[in-house]
Amino acid sequence: MKNFEFYNPVKILFGEGQIDKIPQEILPYHTILIAYGRGSIKRNGVYEKVVNALNGKKVIEFGGIEPNPRYETLMKAIKLARENNVDFVLAVGGGSVIDGTKFIVASVPFEGEPWDIVSKDVKVENAIPFGTVLTLPATGSEMNAGAVISRDATKEKYAFSSPAVFPKFSVLDPTVTYSLPKHQVANGVVDAFAHVLEQYLTYPSNSTIQDRFAEGILQTLIEVGPKTLENPTDNNLRATFMWSCTMALNGLISTGVPTDWATHMIGHELTAFLGLDHGVTLAIIYPALLTEMAEFKKEKLLQYASRVWYLSGNNLTPERAIEETEKFFRSLGVKTRLPEHGISHTDIKPIVDRFVARGWKLGENQNITPDVVEKILRRALEPYR
Amino acid sequence: MKNFEFYNPVKILFGEGQIDKIPQEILPYHTILIAYGRGSIKRNGVYEKVVNALNGKKVIEFGGIEPNPRYETLMKAIKLARENNVDFVLAVGGGSVIDGTKFIVASVPFEGEPWDIVSKDVKVENAIPFGTVLTLPATGSEMNAGAVISRDATKEKYAFSSPAVFPKFSVLDPTVTYSLPKHQVANGVVDAFAHVLEQYLTYPSNSTIQDRFAEGILQTLIEVGPKTLENPTDNNLRATFMWSCTMALNGLISTGVPTDWATHMIGHELTAFLGLDHGVTLAIIYPALLTEMAEFKKEKLLQYASRVWYLSGNNLTPERAIEETEKFFRSLGVKTRLPEHGISHTDIKPIVDRFVARGWKLGENQNITPDVVEKILRRALEPYR
Three-state secondary structure call for residue A30 = coil
Average confidence score pLDDT of chain B = 97
Question: Does residue B141 contact residue B102 with C-beta atoms inside 8 Å?
Answer: yes
* Position B322 in a domain: yes
pTM, entire model = 0.97
What's the rounded Cα separation, in Å, for the pair B237 and B227? 7
* Position A6 in a domain: no
pLDDT at B385 exceeding the cut of 90: no
What does residue A14 show for φ and ψ, rounded to 5 degrees? -110, 130
- Nearest-by-Cβ selection for B1 from A11, A216, A236: A236
What does residue A151 show for φ and ψ, rounded to 5 degrees? -125, 115
In this structure, the answer to whether residues B191 and B155 fall within a common structural domain is: no
In this structure, the answer to whether residues B228 and B165 fall within a common structural domain is: no
* Position B141 in a domain: yes
* Position A2 in a domain: no
In this structure, the answer to whether residues A127 and A26 fall within a common structural domain is: yes
The pLDDT, as a whole number, for residue B349 is: 96
Q: What is the mean pLDDT of residues B352-369?
A: 97
Q: Which of B176, B198, B225 is the last residue of a domain?
A: B176
What's the rounded Cα separation, in Å, for the pair B312 and B105? 50
A310 touches chain B (CB under 8 A): no
In this structure, the answer to whether residues A197 and A229 fall within a common structural domain is: yes
In chain B, what percentage of residues exceed pLDDT 70? 100
Q: What is the pLDDT of residues B173-230, one digit of tens each?
A: 999 999 999 999 999 999 999 999 999 999 999 999 999 999 999 999 999 999 999 9
**Cβ B256–A17 below 8 Å, yes or no?**
no
A17: which chain B residues are within 8 Å (Cβ-Cβ)? 3
Q: Which of A31-35, A184-188, B40-44 has the lowest mean pLDDT?
A: B40-44
Q: What is the pLDDT of residues A136-181, one digit of tens each?
A: 999 999 999 999 999 999 989 899 999 999 999 999 999 999 999 9
Which residue range is the domain that position B352 belongs to?
Answer: 182-381
Q: What is the mean pLDDT of residues B74-92?
A: 98
In this structure, the answer to whether residues A207 and A351 fall within a common structural domain is: yes
The pLDDT, as a whole number, for residue A334 is: 98
pLDDT at A370 exceeding the cut of 90: yes
Question: Does residue A294 contact residue A301 with C-beta atoms inside 8 Å?
Answer: yes
B244: which chain A residues are within 8 Å (Cβ-Cβ)? 208-209
**Cβ A209–B14 below 8 Å, yes or no?**
no
In this structure, the answer to whether residues B123 and B189 fall within a common structural domain is: no
Q: Which of B176, B197, B224 is the last residue of a domain?
A: B176
Average confidence score pLDDT of chain A = 97
pLDDT at A385 exceeding the cut of 90: no
Question: Does residue A334 contact residue A186 with C-beta atoms inside 8 Å?
Answer: yes
Scanning every residue of chain B, which has its alpha carbon at the shortest distance from the alpha carbon of A237? B206
Q: How many structural domains comprise chain B?
A: 2
- Nearest-by-Cβ selection for B212 from A6, A11, A220: A220
**Cβ B209–A217 below 8 Å, yes or no?**
yes
* Position B274 in a domain: yes
* Position A5 in a domain: no
In this structure, the answer to whether residues A337 and A257 fall within a common structural domain is: yes
In this structure, the answer to whether residues A170 and A223 fall within a common structural domain is: no
In this structure, the answer to whether residues A199 and A172 fall within a common structural domain is: no
* Position B130 in a domain: yes
Q: What is the pLDDT of residues B290-336, one digit of tens each?
A: 999 999 999 999 999 999 999 999 999 999 999 999 999 999 999 99
Which B positions 232-291 lie with beta carbon below 8 A of chain A? 236, 239-240, 243-244, 247, 252, 255-256
Q: What is the pLDDT of residues B230-253, one digit of tens each?
A: 999 999 999 999 999 999 999 999
The pLDDT, as a whole number, for residue B136 is: 97
Above 0.95 for ipTM, yes or no?
A: yes
Q: How far does chain A reach from its first CA to its final CA, in angstroms? A: 38
pLDDT at A380 exceeding the cut of 90: yes
- Nearest-by-Cβ selection for A206 from B10, B206, B240: B240
pLDDT at A308 exceeding the cut of 90: yes
A178 touches chain B (CB under 8 A): no
Amino acid found at B124? V
In this structure, the answer to whether residues B118 and B211 fall within a common structural domain is: no
Output the CA torsion sign for A72, A78, A81, A86: positive
The pLDDT, as a whole number, for residue B47 is: 96
Q: What is the pLDDT of residues A198-238, one digit of tens each?
A: 999 999 999 999 999 999 999 999 999 999 999 999 999 99
Output the CA torsion sign for B108, B69, B77, B168: negative
Q: What is the CATH number of the domain that holds A116?
A: 3.40.50.1970
Scanning A231-344, the segments in alpha helix (DSSP H) are 235-248, 262-274, 278-292, 298-307, 318-331
The pLDDT, as a whole number, for residue A250 is: 98
* Position B2 in a domain: no
- Nearest-by-Cβ selection for A15 from B4, B223, B236: B4
Q: What is the CATH number of the domain that holds B367?
A: 1.20.1090.10
Question: Would you put residue B334 in left (φ > 0), alpha (ψ -120 to 50) or beta?
Answer: beta
In this structure, the answer to whether residues B159 and B216 fall within a common structural domain is: no
Which A positions 208-227 lie with beta carbon below 8 A of chain B? 208-209, 212-213, 215-217, 219-220, 223-224
- Nearest-by-Cβ selection for B14 from A6, A224, A236: A6
B306 touches chain A (CB under 8 A): no
Q: Which of A176, A193, A208 is the last residue of a domain?
A: A176
In this structure, the answer to whether residues B61 and B143 fall within a common structural domain is: yes
